[in-house]
Structure 1
Amino acid sequence: MNTHANEVDKGERFEFGANWAQFLNVLNDERIELAEQSLRTMLGVTDLKGKRFLDVGSGSGLFSLVARRLGATVHSFDYDPKSVACTSELKRRYFPDDPDWVIEQGSVLDEDYLQTLGQWDIVYSWGVLHHTGAMWRALENVIPSVHQRGTLYIAIYNHQRVMTPVWTWVKRTYNRLPLGLRWLVLGPALIRLWGPRTVYDLLRGKPFYTWRHYAEHSSRGMSAWRDVVDWVGGYPFEVAKPEEVFRFYLDRGFVLRNMVTCGGGLGCNEFVFARASTP
């Protein structure tokens, strides 16, 4: 199996962690509170006291931080060493030397590693499993980590019949270009993604309003620019229709508790499943 560094060198993988490191420069209390509210809303809880929370692909570490703030015991892991470093930095800032928050490097495709982690009340993986290069295997691999009557919260890119092949080409091309030439892809993609909204804001006399207030608009405390880079660069890249994800977990003993879709467009569909029985 190729290491993370080899995959990046070959243009087969985007360095998510390097992008998240830049996001940490703009992370503040307001963004953290927005992320916290989004997690409470989707899970239908006020806190996570007494719960064990497994963050599969922790990325920036923001939602591991949020889960810990809500009272959960947290285990974070990521395949990208720079993402591990980002998560570790947030722990250093907010929960230094906390034994109830463990951070490791690991892969959701490594079944032996997952077995060492045991089972968890909440298994969380937002926008991660479709970047593994083996999405359906990853979706399968997280199942044993969910405790009986536990919760699985995932977000998976939506399938678009016309645009999915286009974006796959864009992402592959971006990662295979030298760093100094990636703007050739990023620039046009930025115009495609933000052009219509920017014109709309200008016409209503609020130039760049949506861009400047993106953290509130995204409801997850994210950064507009870092989300653009993440989207354009995010490779490997797989997608699924909402009904495919629903059926996949229904057939494996899960019940859908909550769902938010992107309305058939660009972005992620979010699912909260409860494990009802042993498949």
Structure 2
Amino acid sequence: MPRPAPAWERPAGTVFRSFFQWTPASTITAGYTAALSSREVPNRRTQEKPVSHAEEIQRGDRFEFGANWARFLTVLDDERIAQARASLKAMLGVETLEGKSFLDVGSGSGLFSLAARSLGARVRSFDYDPNSVACTRELRRRYFKDDPDWTVEEGSVLDPAFLSTQGTHDIVYSWGVLHHTGQMNQALDNVAPLVAPGGQLFIAIYNDQGGTSRRWTAVKKLYCSGLPGRVVVRLVFYPYFAAGRLLADILKRRNPFTSYAAYKSARGMSVVHDWEDWLGGYPFEVAKPEEIFERFRRHGFTLEKMKTCAGGLGCNEFIFSRNPKH
């Protein structure tokens, strides 16, 4: 996979760590504590009536990931698609996915379902967010219209009945998704049976940074609390992120306008949509690499490859293989 973008080009990069190392969560959320206290993620294990996606959004329990992906599709181009395809090939260590089945758990924009299909895989995509499902279907319409080898559905990784219809696959892919479910550990356990014996699981999970992660959780809750919170977060952090990029461009003697226009993350994303996804990405859970390793070891998986964020903010990436006899 191409080298990750420098810290100043990532919303969770080291340029921004000092703010969270020294700023208490109470300061970040001043004026909104009472409003947020009633908006904790619901415990779906004990609720008698399931909460719909729309209700979660309305209550401030969930970020509108799908709406952000819909905006991203307006800037999606062939270069970004090629970048996504290259990152998938590099991490999996392959040139083609011909003959493979690929399950995209939480397909989001549909970009990586598209990348997998263009590499020859038979693809199944699903997402909990109806707008994300619509985005994935739109990419299928644009690039693989009426293709019988690419199925797109709406469903939840926390729904055993739905998962029972998905079968098993050579590659199960869930990049930056399971930590946004509100029940990360359950979601991690639920994807394990979806991997065929001898198949691979490719996931990315936010790194646990202790107090820093808790402060970011406060920011995300504030963002999702409603329009006032969203405005406050954007007013504080958009200039903060932009200043970090500007400083980096000056130090590297780059034209800031050219740098912004040319921005592509290591996975084909865009700078503002990366910022928005980071700031609003709630529910938000984190894990240490060893916790992920141990959980899947118990499920009969072997770690093949791991790519960490060097102990910082961001996602640790893992590729596991399932024991053929397990």
Moved over 4 A (4+): none
Q: 1:157 aligns with which of 182, 197, 206?
A: 206
Instruction: State percent identity of aligned pairs.
Output: 57
Q: Secondary structure at the match of 1:256?
A: strand
Query: What TM-score do you get using the length of structure 1 for normalisation?
Result: 0.95
Q: 2:293 aligns with which of 242, 246, 255?
A: 246
Q: 1:246 to 1:273 in 2, by over 3 A?
A: same
Q: Which residue of 2 aligns with 1:136?
A: 185
Deviations 1:186-245 (CA, angstroms, capped at 9, x unpaired):
232234444333212123331425543331xx2110011001000000000000111111
Mapping 1:115-264, distance limit 5 Å: 115-178=164-227, 182-208=230-256, 210-215=259-264, 218-264=265-311
Q: Secondary structure at the match of 2:147?
A: coil
Question: What is the aligned length?
Answer: 276
8 Å contact kept, 2:171–2:200: yes
8 Å contact kept, 2:103–2:173: yes
1:181 Cα deviation from its structure 2 partner: 5.2
1: CA distance between counterparts of 2:51 and 2:193?
25
8 Å contact kept, 1:58–1:87: yes
- Higher gyration radius (CA): 2
8 Å contact kept, 2:175–2:205: yes
1: CA distance between counterparts of 2:129 and 2:60?
15
Q: Which residue of 1 aligns with 2:16?
A: none
Q: 2:123 aligns with which of 74, 96, 101?
A: 74
Query: What TM-score do you get using the length of structure 2 for normalisation?
Result: 0.82
Structure 2: give runs of 5+ residues left out of the alignment. Answer: 1-49
1:250 Cα deviation from its structure 2 partner: 1.5
2: CA distance between counterparts of 1:165 and 1:222?
26
Residues 1:5 and 2:50 are matched in the alignment: no
- Root-mean-square deviation over aligned CA pairs: 1.4
Q: Which amino acid aligns with 2:107?
A: S
Q: Which residue of 1 aligns with 2:94?
A: 45
2: CA distance between counterparts of 1:231 and 1:278?
39
1:278 Cα deviation from its structure 2 partner: 5.0
Q: Which residue of 2 aligns with 1:267?
A: 314
